Structure 1
């Protein structure tokens, strides 16, 4: 069983710095295949639907080690700010 640990990025409507939890998400064990009747993509793997949240990276790594899960850590990309003045729109 393998998983990945990452931090969710902020969405476009979020401006604050709060609620930056870490997520442990299990990798899919079998590929998804189309259902013959409806054509929807599905799989018998229920672990791929599980996402566990943790308050810190250390707590997520400790949980993975305790349960024997091979987890890969995906670092959070650095934040880049594009500083722009309103007057730049008219140049």
Structure 2
């Protein structure tokens, strides 16, 4: 069973960068999930799918996986470029695009 080591991306619904500065080691699920007939939630018979370990750096996560003989895969992050804007820029006189509503 492989583990994947990655740095989480921020949610698309927020502009904040909180909880994205650490690295995660997660086990991939081996079997399929079963739909619980009572609640309708997906459940798995594999308890490793619930394990999520947090590390400060990528090197710490890789060292942990190697020390415990865990086959792992490192997924590098793609940095996104942000255009710094302030709220006052929405109302400036020299906007490149006119106000639409």
TM-score by length of 1: 0.80
Shift of 1:28: 0.3
Aligned length: 90
Q: Which moved more, 1:33-42 or 1:45-54?
A: 33-42
Gaps of 5+ in 1: none
Could you say what secondary structure the match of 1:89 adopts? coil
| Counterpart residue number, 1:25 | 26
Give the alignment partner of residue 14 of structure 1, picking from 16, 21, 38: 16
| Counterpart residue number, 2:60 | 59
The residue correspondences of 1:1-91 to structure 2 (distance < 5 A) are 1-11=1-11, 12-15=14-17, 20-82=21-83, 86=90, 87-90=95-98
Question: Residue 5 of structure 2 contacts residue 72 of structure 2 at CA under 8 Å; is this kept in 1?
Answer: yes
Shift of 1:29: 1.4
**Distance in 1, Cα, partners of 2:20 & 2:83:** 23
Gaps of 5+ in 2: none
Choose 1 or 2 for highest CA Rg: 2
Taking CA–CA contacts closer than 8 Å with sequence separation of 6 or more, which of the two structures ends up with the larger relative contact order?
A: 1
- After superposition, the CA RMSD in angstroms is 2.4
Larger relative strand fraction: 1
